[in-house]
Structure 1
Amino acid sequence: MTTWVSTAERLDLLLFNATDDAYGAHVGVYVDAEKVLHLCAEIGHPAVWTMAEFLAQERYRVLIGIKRVIAAS
């Protein structure tokens, strides 16, 4: 189960897209200190980018939101 949160913590999922449409969003995993792990098609392997690097890319310029995995009760 996941929930939307306003501030990222370690292992949260960050959704990026060129627009605010969540459909087809690119997903990264928040590592810490504004760093995000993601599968980077441009370089062909996983990479760690800063939040600023994501937002500087046209296709990832919008942070749609942050999802946190929570334990099911």
Structure 2
Amino acid sequence: MADLRSPSEPRVFPSSGWDAIDPSLKFEEESIPNYKPKAFYPVHIGEVFNHLYQVVGKLGHGSSATVWLCRDLL
């Protein structure tokens, strides 16, 4: 059966009205002993991947991956 929904438009997330984290401070995952910044893609809230998924927030992280919550745009 075909999906009859029309694609959703990406949401626009506010760029103000909240506290920004000082970029000189390390996030939790950056303090893991074997952390290598170039091994991870720098994901941004609101970013859209392959016109299909929009990043909503970070769910968690471990020693080898970070898990992101994304909204399906289809």
- TM-score, length-normalised on structure 1? 0.27
Higher CA-based Rg: 2
Higher relative contact order (CA 8 A, sep 6+): 1
- TM-score, length-normalised on structure 2? 0.26
Pick the structure with more strand per residue. Answer: 1
